[in-house]
Structure 1
């Protein structure tokens, strides 16, 4: 079986009971060439049972259970180590993707050819209010052409 284009690593922290909505938004994507790795550590706010229920119903979802409470960073690293996709995307339980988000990323990757990092804009929603992510203006200024990270260090938080 070929590797998926995109592996999504999702720590199973569900402090605000949003993990199901996040998983639903991933499973509704118009791009099918995706694997979803939910990482459940032993933290009290981890929804490992919910993640297992999704994995039982959806073959593109798997759950990695960790034996300790390790936090978000170590959970992401553990999921990344298991990922088989060509590209890696980290999400949190409170992230929702529009239906064509991953297809748009895949289309952009076809345009650019292989890249180490693909930067993209995003909007945040909180209590029915949307606002653009912090890099939106910088990305617009950079334009659509591929570039080396050293050419635009401000996009990587290192001006």
Structure 2
């Protein structure tokens, strides 16, 4: 058994893949594998993978599969992972040379099931720290409250093998569906204050698309799946405040703003409002929401009151 398995799903990233793999094969750590899953990529990604495998046969473990999406590739890679811990890295991102060493050392020191690091966001040569973390003295609640990304987390493989935590295949927002629930199976979670992961903000992603996509509606299935996991583990009441804030942050605020520019998206915003009314009718009293900024609260309030035209004017949305 190796100490860490790094799983890298690959699809149409031939220009960015070398930087990602370079950062992974040059780690200050000596007991790990990098499982590179070609998810049916039609570009030259496989050629690049083959070149790295030839240079680093003791590190790179190449896999191929038919295209099934990010979640499918992650689940596939996990089947072949031999590490005690797993780190997911997206193939258009890259990591610091000491990410494995620092996260594993902390995990061993604290006997952690999950270790979380901080990250940078980069685009067009701009680099900025992702610093919107909401603090909580309870590490489990702190974990749930913050960025629901499978990346930036070193996770015990035995946690990921629980069937209900398999990544939600064929959907966007897959991380929202599963990642917060990892804590339900963890006995200890550690946070490292170092910025060790570099996350690419892609203008071409569905989140920045100029055309409406029905895939935006995947948020409803994902957040429903998350809720069901907590209910099935009898943990909904214990984490009700945190789940309520996830609904506010990712459904009422973020998802609604993605729907807002499109006429086709307005029925989906209405659906968001109905869900909030049914699930969390007193959401505006949420203790984490109260800590958010004035503009954030105005946006949420106008969305919930369905003042879409006024909100568009304020945000200057066409």
TM-score of the aligned structures, taking structure 2 as reference length: 0.43
What stretches of structure 2 of length at least 5 have no aligned partner?
A: 147-179, 181-241, 246-318
Counterpart in the other structure of 1:63: 62
1:96-135 aligned at under 5 Å gives the runs: 96-115=94-113, 117-133=114-130
Q: Deviations over 1:77-125 (max 9, x none)?
A: 100111010111111122111111111111211221141x222211122
CA contact (8 A) 1:40 1:46 kept: no
Distance across 2 between alignment mates of 1:151 and 1:123: 19
Distance across 2 between alignment mates of 1:104 and 1:63: 25
Counterpart in the other structure of 1:154: 145
Distance across 1 between alignment mates of 2:143 and 2:72: 28
Q: Tell me the number of residue pairs that the alignment of Structure 1 and Structure 2 aligns.
A: 149
1:13-28 aligned at under 5 Å gives the runs: 13-15=11-13, 17-28=15-26
Distance across 1 between alignment mates of 2:18 and 2:142: 39
Is the alpha carbon distance of 1:16 and 1:57 closer, same or farther for their aligned partners in structure 2, counting shifts above 3 Å?
A: closer
Counterpart in the other structure of 2:264: none
Q: Deviations over 1:16-37 (max 9, x none)?
A: 6111111010011101221100
RMSD over aligned Cα, in angstroms? 2.2
CA contact (8 A) 1:8 1:35 kept: yes
Deviation at 1:151, TM superposition (A): 6.7
Distance across 1 between alignment mates of 2:104 and 2:4: 8
Deviation at 1:41, TM superposition (A): 2.4
Counterpart in the other structure of 1:137: 133
Distance across 2 between alignment mates of 1:40 and 1:46: 11
What stretches of structure 1 of length at least 5 have no aligned partner?
A: none
Counterpart in the other structure of 1:87: 85
Q: Which has the larger radius of gyration?
A: 2
Q: Select the structure with the greater relative contact order (CA < 8 A; seq sep ≥ 6).
A: 1
TM-score of the aligned structures, taking structure 1 as reference length: 0.82
- Which protein has the bigger helix share? 2
Segment drifting more, 17-26 vs 43-52: 43-52
Distance across 2 between alignment mates of 1:19 and 1:152: 29
